[in-house]
Amino acid sequence: MGISKIVDVLGIDQSELEEAFQDVMHNHRIASRLQKIALALRTEHGGGICTLKRIPDYAELKRELENLPGYSRNAARTFLREMRSVWPGAHPDFGMRTRNTAKHSHLLSSSKDGPDATSNLVEMGQDAGLDVRDLELALLELSYQHARHYRNCPGGRECEFARVTPCGLVVE
């Protein structure tokens, strides 16, 4: 479709975009959302997302992404996780789910949390020759699999990892 930059979607009719995305995502709203993001990037960030790359502070970078239309906190965190080691300001702490999985797997001490946990996991990944993004995704996948199959965990229903979700609710 001739799209090489995000702002290029502004020159394409929304119905054409919807048709292109229909085969891939089955979500006709994605075209509208993409155009709204492109417009915001053009007006507030000089036409591209690369201007955001120059923001060295993680909190400010995350806030700027969250202010994009249709960009949730989770979307911003996921984007920044993927930009870790690529963009200077993209160095988020590992999320609670990831840290809990690392503790449950005995990769981290139960006393480690927040920035300490992240730096330990980053160092561990580097020592093992892993991309830290791959390590985080593997821990997240393990967490989701554990939640589905916690009955196979040696801790069973007593497993604190399986029982406490990131928002603190007990899973029965």
Among 90, 97, 56, which residue's Cα sits nearest to residue 76?
90
Determine the structural domain holding residue 141 and report its residue range: 96-163
Task: Report the C-alpha gap between 110 and 115 in whole angstroms.
Answer: 14
Regarding whether 26 and 79 lie in a shared domain, the answer is: yes
Is residue 134 assigned to a domain? yes
Is residue 169 assigned to a domain? no
Regarding whether 102 and 129 lie in a shared domain, the answer is: yes
Regarding whether 16 and 75 lie in a shared domain, the answer is: yes
Number of domains present in the structure of the chain = 2
Mean pLDDT of 110-137: 85
Is residue 65 assigned to a domain? yes
Q: Tens digit of pLDDT for each residue in 47-101?
A: 778 888 888 888 899 999 999 888 888 888 888 888 887 888 888 788 888 888 8
